[in-house]
Amino acid sequence: MSQNASSQLLPISPSDLVTCTRINQNFDVLQSQITALSAPATTTTTGTATTKNSGSLSNPMTAPGDMIYEGTNFQPARVPGNTSATRKFLRQTGTGVQAGTPGWDTLVVGDIPNLSSLYAATGFPGAYASVALSGQTASSGPTNIQHASAILPAGRYLIMVTAIVTATGTNNLTVTVAWNDGTAAESVTLGPSGMGTSPGRLEAVQHAVLNGSTNLTYQITISGGSGGTAKVWIDVVRLV
């Protein structure tokens, strides 16, 4: 076959189909390119850094855990592996048009999406519902306690009821939280407490199993005399 000094493929004309000259030259070019790509890998060590070359593609990796990304001028570049004992995640921030250099980093608050919309659907454990009333002077209820405008999912809950009453007036305060555990109606009651005769802080904590089809409710009853105010907090936490 003829030798071709050029590394570029040549156009084929009708006459080349007779002489086969350019066809042979193109074959030589392709063979040369295939040979370059299949050249054996070489390793070069300079000081403490090792550069590996696999054929015509330069391999910038120098240690286990390294990764390759496309650097400037379409050349492979190295992302060093995470050698710290801290778990890190690959992060990259672009300009809106061009990608940035990747690297390892720890998570920050902004990296974690808000999944609260999923909690209502799946019944995720944690703070689930709350009621806060201030300046309560009259009876109220029964009123539903819901999460995301929906009945609380079936599960086991912790209900915490707190009331702070003033030292004036003679009214009695009673707070009742009620639910259905799937078998029978259940409730926890705080009080009665005299809003004038026994002022102070009252608390009740109760485990509750909810059936998922009946609302958890609260009811406040104020009776006997007049005057006095109360602050009432009801917090519901799902355990499982």
At 58, is the pLDDT very low, low, confident or very high (cuts 50, 70, 90)?
A: confident
- Structural domain contains residue 43: no
- Structural domain contains residue 143: yes
pLDDT of the residue at 2: 45
Q: Exposure of 171 by Cβ count < 10 A (0-12 exposed, 13-18 middle, 19+ buried)?
A: buried
- Spatial distance between the Cα atoms of 108 and 189, rounded to a whole number of angstroms: 43
At 75, is the pLDDT very low, low, confident or very high (cuts 50, 70, 90)?
A: confident
**In this model, does residue 123 exceed pLDDT 70?**
no
Within 8 A by CB and 6+ apart from 100, the residues are: 92, 93, 94
Question: Nearest Cα to 33, choosing from 73, 72, 70, 6?
Answer: 6
- Structural domain contains residue 46: no
Helix (H, G, I), strand (E, B) or coil at 50: strand
Per-residue burial over 61-100, b = 16 or more CB atoms within 10 Å of its CB, e = otherwise = beeeeeeeeeeeeeeeeebeeeeeeeeeeeeeeeeeeeee
Residue 118 pairs with which residues in a beta bridge? none
User: Which one of 23-32, 108-117, 121-130 scores highest in mean pLDDT?
Assistant: 108-117
Tokens of 138: 């009259």
Q: How far is CA 96 from the centre of its chain?
A: 23
- Structural domain contains residue 59: no
What's the total number of domains in the chain? 1
- Spatial distance between the Cα atoms of 157 and 127, rounded to a whole number of angstroms: 10
- Structural domain contains residue 80: no
User: Which one of 12-16, 156-160, 170-174 scores highest in mean pLDDT?
Assistant: 156-160
Q: How many residues comprise the chain? A: 240
- Structural domain contains residue 226: yes
- Spatial distance between the Cα atoms of 144 and 233, rounded to a whole number of angstroms: 14
Structural domain including 157 reads 125-238
Residue 155, domain CATH: 2.60.120
Question: Nearest Cα to 233, choosing from 163, 165, 152?
Answer: 163
- Structural domain contains residue 205: yes
Q: Please give the share of the chain, as a percent, with pLDDT higher than 90.
A: 29
- Structural domain contains residue 112: no
- Spatial distance between the Cα atoms of 81 and 65, rounded to a whole number of angstroms: 4
Other Cβ atoms closer than 10 A to 152: 25
Q: How far is CA 73 from the centre of its chain?
A: 36
Indicate the DSSP class of residue 142: E
Q: Exposure of 128 by Cβ count < 10 A (0-12 exposed, 13-18 middle, 19+ buried)?
A: buried
CB 226 within 8 A of CB 237: no
Q: Kindly state the average pLDDT of the residues 18-25.
A: 62
pLDDT of the residue at 12: 61
At 86, is the pLDDT very low, low, confident or very high (cuts 50, 70, 90)?
A: very high
pTM: 0.50
Instruction: Strand 200-210: give its sheet, edge to edge.
Output: 126-136, 230-238, 155-165, 200-210
Q: Kindly state the average pLDDT of the residues 189-196.
A: 81
